[in-house]
A and B are shown apart, each in its own frame.
Chain A
């Protein structure tokens, strides 16, 4: 990972945080408000810098430079303006209790594990999932490579499959990171994707902390990072998590009473995904009906400002949307088709169980929470109203969809549920009773140090355990000091098979086992052990470099091979296994595999 994409994100974060501070003023800060401003600042900064970059991409061939100058100027103006303000009055925070500390530790360790899972998901598909590369990164490439002609190129009918009408926030954000990097690195695209997910989590946790205290914040955070689909999708370079982040930011700001940022975030949600247009309409309507009349003008003004980029794009450049393009009138009858209602409800029932990719559904814990908080705080109307109206809107869109309904549901419903999931978590956590302020004194320095030490120890233990997990195609791993020696299936094998704890692979003929040796593990003696079996009698030789390290007769009865004191150099080395007989068909069936020999349960000692 190079520095420029990180720097581009840091500049966006700083700019957004200053903007949030300028917009919300310096009235009394509640505990957690600073963290909430930082999380909201990341989202606002990513949105505003994407708008600036996209605007310049229509005017100049090097939008990175022009937008960078404007960002620097904005930073200077905001810093100067905010520097003149007096210090904020920060409400005193309640002392931490030990159960709260323990819960915070669980959250931190869960976050660490989630970050590792998210990184692995990115490493498996660096350019993202299907929509990641086929829509969002492709649009980003057009912005980065197409010069000022990109709208004309994207309007080409041959590219209609890339959904050229989709809003540009994510694509422009990625293209901006690439412009700072000077190269189209998938790592930069993954970093932008992860930044949105991290900001979403930050808004959820900090928002709940401000609104309901530490325990609600921790529980909300655990529910979100305990959703594997959210974690693996965080780096998948789609726009669903960025959209969910803006929707959540709008709702949290709305509940917090920061109405102008709330309306701006609703506008940015619309600049992220077409679902955001529905969200902006729903959220704007709910906000206007739940706020005093004297605030309506400011809300409408901020909403209009937030919607300006998407309105300009939709009116100026975007082709018709695939859902709205075909004439609507003939499809109105679909609203009353019982088969469509049945199909949608059936898919909803299925995907409510599956969308989070959970092993244990969180609904039992949520239900327990509803039971436990029967006389809990009332949830501000804004949150459930937005969730219900958004869900209703999605339902109607499916009813009116011009596409094959089953296909449409199968390819999108889980993502729509993920978009609403953070709002559902917030609604559930807002029922949580506010923690009563405690007067417990601060723990002694020794205890604090002990707590931090224990946390760091657990984190280190988790990282070591995760680092010891076998990767795809790997069969054995051995730690040598700080380094590792890994053994993996190389070329010449059919797909590896397993039954219980036993693992094996059949060869097509000559085959390889590959070693990867870390620098600090090189040179030391390695012992390798595996079992060989073959169809029919044959002689098998195992070679390392030019040296035959084992040879012998092999047949149906397994033969144990022990290779002792192998000296492996740093880097990659192959153990070549070959036999003196051609492979033999495993059966008389047509298409039967031709098998030479099988290696069972390779071990490194």
Chain B
């Protein structure tokens, strides 16, 4: 191969090398001491809802369940952080489908951040399981 060919090879290798070194600098290794709570929101949510799946199975809940948070459905839809919380909860609780709009489902999940579960329950529901941290499994008490 001629000289200018090797010049191109050198330019590509140098470019790739600099880019990789900078990628190493920007992406530090995972901390040897794991952060508590985890820094990744998905991992945090998996831990937060770890017990709910088993409880839903135990109560033979199927299909769509209600979803309550600190916000009304309308405010939830307009609040990106709360919507992310809802999406993460849905990811954790698949195959149950969470419905934040329907307040009449026989079963519902409460994901309360601000009140920690001390707030009055949604009307018409009783608490079946309190998982702590504002996560509750609710059952409808009136038809």
**Chain A proximity mask over B1-35: 1 for CB below 8 Å, otherwise 0:** 10011111101111111111111101111111101
| B131 contacts chain A at the CB level, 8 A cutoff | no
Given contact pairs A117-B23, A215-B9, A360-B15, A472 touches B28 in the complex (Cβ within 8 A)? yes
Given contact pairs A215-B9, A472-B28, A125 touches B97 in the complex (Cβ within 8 A)? no
Q: Within the complex, which residue of B4, B15, B19, B42 is in contact with A127, where a contact is CB–CB below 8 Å?
A: B42
Q: Within the complex, which residue of B12, B33, B87 is in contact with A222, where a contact is CB–CB below 8 Å?
A: B12
Taking A120-B28, A147-B95, A486-B32 as known contacts, 6 extra A-B pairs with beta carbons closer than 8 A to each other, sorted by chain A number, are A123-B30, A158-B64, A219-B9, A219-B12, A362-B19, A472-B31
A572 contacts B33, C-beta separation under 8 Å: yes
| A421 contacts chain B at the CB level, 8 A cutoff | no
Residues of chain A contacted by B21 (CB below 8 angstroms): 113
Report Cα–Cα, A365/B32, bound state, in Å. Answer: 38
B32 contacts A516, C-beta separation under 8 Å: yes
Report Cα–Cα, A80/B23, bound state, in Å. Answer: 46
Given contact pairs A113-B24, A471-B28, A472-B31, A225 touches B16 in the complex (Cβ within 8 A)? yes
**Chain A proximity mask over B31-44: 1 for CB below 8 Å, otherwise 0:** 11101000110110
Candidate in B1, B33, B87, B99 with the most chain A CB atoms within 10 angstroms: B33
Size bin of chain A's contact surface: 35 or more
Residues of chain B contacted by A466 (CB below 8 angstroms): 24, 29
A127 contacts B40, C-beta separation under 8 Å: yes
A159 contacts B90, C-beta separation under 8 Å: yes
Residues of chain B contacted by A215 (CB below 8 angstroms): 1, 5, 9
| A507 contacts chain B at the CB level, 8 A cutoff | no
Within 356-371 of A, Cβ neighbours of B (below 8 Å) are at 356-362, 364-365, 368-369, 371
Closest 6 CB pairs of A and B: A226-B16, A228-B23, A365-B11, A123-B30, A471-B31, A146-B95
Secondary structure class of chain B's binding surface, majority of residues: helix
Residue positions of A touching B, CB distance < 8 A = 99, 103, 106, 110, 113-114, 116-117, 120-121, 123-128, 133-134, 137-138, 141-142, 145-147, 149-150, 153, 156, 158-159, 161, 215, 218-219, 222-223, 225-228, 231-232, 356-362, 364-365, 368-369, 371-373, 433, 435, 466-467, 469-474, 484, 486, 488, 514, 516, 572
A117 contacts B20, C-beta separation under 8 Å: yes
A113 closest partner in B (C-beta): B20
Report Cα–Cα, A362/B88, bound state, in Å. Answer: 37
Report Cα–Cα, A156/B39, bound state, in Å. Answer: 31
Residues of chain A contacted by B28 (CB below 8 angstroms): 120, 469-472, 474
A435 contacts B15, C-beta separation under 8 Å: no
**A46 vs chain B, min Cβ distance (A):** 23
Residues of chain A contacted by B40 (CB below 8 angstroms): 124-127
Report Cα–Cα, A156/B133, bound state, in Å. Answer: 29
A103 contacts B20, C-beta separation under 8 Å: no
Report Cα–Cα, A29/B36, bound state, in Å. Answer: 55
B13 contacts A120, C-beta separation under 8 Å: no
Candidate in A117, A133, A215 with the most chain B CB atoms within 10 angstroms: A133
Given contact pairs A124-B30, A231-B23, A471-B29, A150 touches B15 in the complex (Cβ within 8 A)? no
Q: Within the complex, which residue of B7, B39, B91 is in contact with A138, where a contact is CB–CB below 8 Å?
A: B91
Given contact pairs A117-B23, A223-B16, A472-B28, A141 touches B95 in the complex (Cβ within 8 A)? yes
Q: Within the complex, which residue of A117, A161, A362 is in contact with B12, where a contact is CB–CB below 8 Å?
A: A362
A368 contacts B95, C-beta separation under 8 Å: no
B90 contacts A474, C-beta separation under 8 Å: no
**A75 vs chain B, min Cβ distance (A):** 31
Q: How many residues of B contact A (CB 8 A)?
A: 47
**A99 vs chain B, min Cβ distance (A):** 7
**B5 vs chain A, min Cβ distance (A):** 6
Q: Within the complex, which residue of A106, A128, A159, A369 is in contact with B13, where a contact is CB–CB below 8 Å?
A: A106
B7 contacts A141, C-beta separation under 8 Å: no
Report Cα–Cα, A226/B19, bound state, in Å. Answer: 6
Q: List 22 A-B contacts (CB under 8 A).
A: A120-B27, A120-B28, A124-B27, A126-B40, A126-B42, A127-B43, A147-B95, A149-B95, A150-B95, A158-B98, A223-B12, A226-B16, A228-B20, A365-B11, A365-B15, A372-B8, A469-B24, A470-B28, A471-B28, A484-B32, A486-B32, A488-B32
B95 contacts A145, C-beta separation under 8 Å: yes
B99 closest partner in A (C-beta): A158
Report Cα–Cα, A470/B24, bound state, in Å. Answer: 11
**A331 vs chain B, min Cβ distance (A):** 25
**Chain A proximity mask over B68-111: 1 for CB below 8 Å, otherwise 0:** 00000000000000000001101100110111100000000000
Residues of chain A contacted by B98 (CB below 8 angstroms): 158
Residues of chain B contacted by A359 (CB below 8 angstroms): 18-19, 22
Given contact pairs A124-B27, A486-B32, A514-B33, A364 touches B15 in the complex (Cβ within 8 A)? yes
A365 contacts B12, C-beta separation under 8 Å: yes
Candidate in B11, B27, B64, B88 with the most chain A CB atoms within 10 angstroms: B27
Report Cα–Cα, A141/B23, bound state, in Å. Answer: 31
Residues of chain A contacted by B24 (CB below 8 angstroms): 113, 116-117, 466, 469
Residues of chain B contacted by A128 (CB below 8 angstroms): 42
Residues of chain B contacted by A123 (CB below 8 angstroms): 29-30
B94 contacts A225, C-beta separation under 8 Å: no
Residues of chain B contacted by A232 (CB below 8 angstroms): 23, 27
Report Cα–Cα, A365/B23, bound state, in Å. Answer: 19
Residues of chain A contacted by B19 (CB below 8 angstroms): 226-228, 356, 358-360, 362
Residues of chain A contacted by B9 (CB below 8 angstroms): 103, 215, 218-219
Report Cα–Cα, A226/B14, bound state, in Å. Answer: 9
**B59 vs chain A, min Cβ distance (A):** 16
Residues of chain A contacted by B13 (CB below 8 angstroms): 103, 106, 222
A117 contacts B31, C-beta separation under 8 Å: no
Candidate in B5, B21, B35, B98 with the most chain A CB atoms within 10 angstroms: B5
Residues of chain B contacted by A471 (CB below 8 angstroms): 28-32
A97 closest partner in B (C-beta): B1
B63 closest partner in A (C-beta): A153
Report Cα–Cα, A360/B43, bound state, in Å. Answer: 34
Report Cα–Cα, A541/B58, bound state, in Å. Answer: 51
Report Cα–Cα, A362/B16, bound state, in Å. Answer: 8
Given contact pairs A103-B13, A117-B20, A365-B8, A469 touches B29 in the complex (Cβ within 8 A)? yes
B42 contacts A133, C-beta separation under 8 Å: yes
